Amino acid sequence: MEFLRSENTNFSREWALNIRGKLFTISTPQVMGIVNCTPDSFYASSRKSSIDSQKSLIDLHVENGATWLDIGGYSTRPGAEHISETDEIERIKQAVSYALEKYSTVKISVDTFQSEVANYVLEQGVHLINDISGGLINEELFSIIASHEVPYVLMHMRGTPQNMTQLNSYENMLQEILIELGIQVEKARKAGIKDIIIDPGFGFAKNSEQNLELFSRLEAFQLFDSPILIGISRKSLISKTLGIDSFDSLNGTTVLNTLALEKGANILRVHDVKEAVETVKLWSKIKGIPSPE
């Protein structure tokens, strides 16, 4: 298939996202800082259950140069326990309120696949919904997001966090992932979502070897003509490949984030904002692309 052999790896165009009628332009790679309001996310150091620790992390991310914050209250590590929409809202509501009130120039994303959670945070003024399920778990999300006129991160996954590790059998992985994403993109657009950001879904219904293979073909996701978000920060494709744990995976994360930029990534979703921002600045300088200040 010819489209699978794209060689366009330059950050060569601007993207304009419509956020409630206002345009946000991505003219240089963005860094999205992760704020996990959970007790059980896979990277233990990222778990921030108290509001004081959440506020401190938000402040640190912004101080270090994050242009986006991604706040989540539902752990999506393999086998994570399911929680109700009420519990998820309770976990994130203070962090969302704090970020929106204190940092008017930073775009706030919420990482959720539950429709009541999405509706609640969008009513508070959140700018983006990041859905790990790409609408497969709850298609009500599509109409909710469309009604609020915000962008949507559509990620590839099969199943749920509870069973996705059993759903990683592929005959032609890249082709199947692109087709499955394409089906959900079409549904989202028919529901009225104007701006879609594509996430290949590293670690979701994919084992470590599959993740590495997928990363090597990252250019193929440019066929969707949408910004590409990459979330490989401290994930098992790094730790298992190197025989280390997530605590020692920062160097590997930086290497892969650099390669992701080379392969066309537009947004880096990370635990370690300072290092990612430095990566973007150095890469942009080498490429002759204006970098964020």
Q: What is the pLDDT of residues 221-247, one digit of tens each?
A: 999 999 999 999 999 899 999 999 988
Q: Which CATH architecture has domain 19-287?
A: Alpha-Beta Barrel (3.20)
Known active-site residue 91: no
**Whether pLDDT at 93 is above 50:** yes
Known active-site residue 217: no
Q: Are 54 and 94 a contacting pair, CB within 8 Å?
A: yes
Candidate list 48, 91, 263, 269, residue with the active-site label: 269
Domain boundaries, the chain: 19-287
- Give CA–CA dist 46/39, Å, rounded: 9
Candidate list 48, 93, 235, 263, residue with the active-site label: 235
Q: What is the mean pLDDT of residues 147-158?
A: 97
pTM: 0.92
pLDDT tens for each residue of 41-65? 544 455 566 888 899 999 999 999 9
Pair type for strands 22-26 and 15-19: antiparallel
